[in-house]
Each structure stands twice: as C-alpha cells, then as structure tokens.
Structure 1
C-alpha cells in the first residue's frame, strides 16, 4: 500500500471511530490535529501526500500523523514489494488490530447498512475483544441468538417463534402481556 492510500485509510478509520460513519475530510483532520495536538500542518501538503505528488513525509509530519492516528511512525511509508497487509505491526495493540480489521470489513459491506453499522459499533466499543468472546458464548447457547434478536431487534428479524406468535394473534385485538 502506498503512503497516500494509508493516510486515506486512516482518515476513513478515524472518521468511523469518531462516529461520523464516513472518512474524515482533510480539513476535518487538520482541525482535529490543531485542537488535539496543538500544532498544525497544511491541508494542501496533506493533499499532495495523498495524491502521490509528494511521495515522502518530513520526519516532523510523520511523527505528528503517527501521534494523531496512534500508529507506529514506521507505518507511514510505502510498503515494500511483496508486503502482505494482514501482517500487522506488533507495535499496535490487539484492540487496535481488531478495530482496524472490523472497520475495514465494514467498508467491504457498504451495501448492507445494518451489517456495516454493526461492525462499526463493535469497532467503536472500548472492549472489542470481550464483545467478540461474548458473541461466541451467545452463539454456543442453544436458542439464545434467536431469543435475543426477537427481544432486542424485533423489527429486523422474523424468527420461528415470532411467526408463531403473529399467527396466533387475532385481527383487530391487541396482544395481552
């Protein structure tokens, strides 16, 4: 992956992690850096880097972007030929790896808004790993997935139990609780 692609990807991840459900614009990134780190760089410089017009960052800019995006400064270079993106740096934590993986997956499922939103919500959670372990436990408990979906998201899922209840309702009468 080229440096410009990495920065665009990091803007996408950061925008989603901040709840924008889209990439941060270059201008939003500049404002956030100024507000959070108390320093600045020009949007036109960032644009040149992303477009490839400037293939390298200054050390100051590399450190600034690495600090803002919470990545190792070594990440902000072009990948060598033959590099495989699934080999993530040990400098990042497990939570960071999971969150980046989930945001990337969410982008692959843009055409399924409910799934995309679920993956982004999981990536935004402070304990992503625990959420995934909990999901495994829920899935291993017979009938629990269906019951939870029926209770928590009745508008999204029609389970056999929900179909059965709907069939028993008489037209014009409210169901009794």
Structure 2
C-alpha cells in the first residue's frame, strides 16, 4: 500500500470512528487537526499527498498526521513493492512441519533422554502422524496391560512358530 492509499484509508477509518458513517473530507481533517492539535497542514498539500503528486512527507507533516490519526509515524510511508501483510512460512508440507517440530522438541528435551529419544525416533519415521494415532489408542489401555503387550511383542520368539506382523 502506498502513502496515498494509506492516507485515504485513514480518512475513511477516522470518519467511521467519529460517527460520520463516511470518510472525513480533506477539509474536515485539516480543520480537526487545527482544533485538536493546534497545528495543521493545508488541504492542498493533503490533496497532493493523496493523489500521489507528492510521495514524501516532511518530518513535521509525518509527525502531525501520525498524531492526528493515532498511528505510528513509520506507518506513513509507502510499502516496498514486494511487501506482504500475509504470514508466510518456508515449511512446504504439514509432514515437514511436524518432523521439524519433533526434531526441535528432541533438542529441547536433551536433559531427559527418554523424552528426547522418543521425539527423535518419531521424527525419523516415514509417517509420524500414523504412529501418533496408534500411540493415542495405546494410551487408552491400562498401563499394566500395555506393559504386558510390549513384553509379549518384544520377547524373543521360541519354538517353530513365527510371529506374524501386520501393518
């Protein structure tokens, strides 16, 4: 947004805030500045700024407009051509985002080896969301039952019967 657009927008907002249900006119802005701040700029100067004929403000004018519209003086400059108010991320996919978070969590929990190891191992899996879904189901089991299940699954197989693992 360039300076001219910002000034027109501020006049519109100020008009709404003052209950006019319309943008303040340039003349109204100039008069209100004089009345409320004891200082003003000319309507012709404000018009030149809003039309884009003047693209730079003096320090005095920037300060005066900022005080009148109650904005930071830095707002009253034109934005660079590639400026965006959208929040952007360089993380391409959700799965990458989760893995990145898991790796960061592993680093954060280095003083707790079991927790750090869990996050690190989960980050290295090909489908961490699927593991989390299964782990969520396991949390519904009583702890003693879960421990027995883990012992059964991790015990070395004996005899001629092989254990089948399904995915």
TM-score scaled by structure 1? 0.48
Q: Residue deviations 1:40-67, cap 9 Å, x none? A: 1100000000001001000000000001
Structure 1 runs of 4+ aligned residues shifted over 3 Å read none
The separation in 2 between residues aligned to 1:86 and 1:17, in whole angstroms, is: 26
**Which residues in structure 2 correspond to 1:131-142 (within 5 Å)?**
none
Deviation (angstroms), 1:14: 0.3
Which residue is 2:50 aligned to?
Answer: 50
Q: 1:33 to 1:86 in 2, by over 3 A?
A: farther
Q: Normalising by structure 2, what TM-score?
A: 0.51
1:138-157 pair list within 5 angstroms? none
Partner of 2:83 in structure 1?
83
Tell me which structure has the larger Cα radius of gyration. Answer: 2
Other-structure match for 1:12: 12
* Counterpart residue number, 1:35: 35
Q: Give the secondary structure class of the aligned counterpart of 1:77.
A: coil
Q: What is the alpha-carbon distance in structure 2 between the residues aligned to residue 39 and residue 72 of structure 1?
A: 18
SS at match of 1:31: helix
Aligned length: 87
Structure 1 unmatched ranges of 5 or more = 88-177
Q: Which runs of 5+ in 2 are unaligned?
A: 88-167
Match of residue 63 from structure 1: 63
Q: Specify the SS of the correspondent of 2:54.
A: coil
- Considering Cα pairs closer than 8 Å and 6+ residues apart, tell me whether 1 or 2 has the greater RCO: 1
Paired with 1:58 and 1:31, the residues of 2 have a C-alpha distance of: 20
Tell me what 2:162 maps to. none
Give distance in 1, aligned partners of 2:14 and 2:85: 18
- Classify 1:85/1:27 alpha carbon distance in 2 versus 1 (closer, same or farther; 3 Å): farther
Q: How far apart are residue 86 of structure 1 and its match?
A: 5.2
RMSD between superposed Cα atoms in Å:
1.1
